[in-house]
Amino acid sequence: MTQPVTIIMIEDDEGHARLIERNIRRSGVNNEIVSFQNGTDAMQHLFGADGSGLVQKGNALLILLDLNLPDMTGIDILRQIKENKYLKASPVVVLTTTDDSQEIKRCYELGCNVYITKPVNYENFANAIRQLGLFFSVIQVPPAAP
């Protein structure tokens, strides 16, 4: 059962979100992107109303996570994702403006797969996403041009 990966983007800055989305599309990744502008909505979506994460059972997810959110820190979201049995296998890409080595270390310790500092080198970024997606499941590529 191969299932297309859904990209969950948790990013409060609309501009950043748009740029990320564009670059993902430009690099030829055509998967569905679900974006959230704050942590609460994202948590609701990921863990469901009961907070167990059962709603996402069997879904292939790739999570793009900004650490600086208006209502909670990305670190908390990352920890909860990696502690949830249904979600912990989903790759998480942390996107942030901080290049603080302590914070990077902490994210990797919590189980993040890639840590990307903004301003983003979008070529490398798209590459990382593609590889993560391939590693996990199927990446939808656009149908060949007619």
Partner 1 sequence: MTAEAQRRRAFWQILLIAAGLLILAVISAGSVYLVNKAREDSKWVVHTIEVENQINSLLLEIRRAESSARGFLLTQAEGFKIDHEKAVEAIVPALDKLTRQSGDNPAQRENVEKLSAAIETRLGQFAQEMEFIRQGQPDKAAALIREVVSTDATAAITRIATGMIQEEERLFRLRSENADRSQTFAASMTGIGSGLVVLLALISTWLVRRSARARDEAEARLRDANVNLESVVDERTADLREANDEIQRFAYIVSHDLRSPLVNIMGFTSELEELGGDIFHRIGSLAHVSAEGAPLAPAGPGEIVLDGADKQLSEDFSEALGFIKTSIAKMDRLISAILNLTREGRREFQPVKIDTREMIEAVVSTLAHQAAEAQAEIRLEPLPDIVSDRLALEQIFSNLIDNAIKYLKSGVPGEIRIRGRTKLGYAIFEISDNGRGIDPKDHQRIFDLFRRAGTQDKPGQGIGLAHVRALVRRLGGTMSVSSELNAGSTFTITLPIAWNESNRNAER
Interaction site with partner 1 (CB under 8 A): 13, 15-16, 19, 22, 68, 97-100, 118-120, 122
Query: Would you say 122 or 136 has its CB closer to partner 1?
Result: 122
**Least distance from partner 1 to the Cβ atom of residue 23, Å:** 8
**Least distance from partner 1 to the Cβ atom of residue 92, Å:** 20
Query: Would you say 88 or 105 has its CB closer to partner 1?
Result: 105
C-alpha 85, offset from chain centre: 17
Count helices and strands (H / E) in the chain.
5, 5
**Least distance from partner 1 to the Cβ atom of residue 18, Å:** 8
Query: Would you say 67 or 81 has its CB closer to partner 1?
Result: 67
Beta-strand runs (E) in 69-112:
92-96
Report helix, strand and coil shares of the chain as percent, to nearest 5: 40, 20, 40
Query: Would you say 2 or 101 has its CB closer to partner 1?
Result: 101
Asked if 129 contacts 24 with a C-beta cutoff of 8 angstroms, the reply is yes
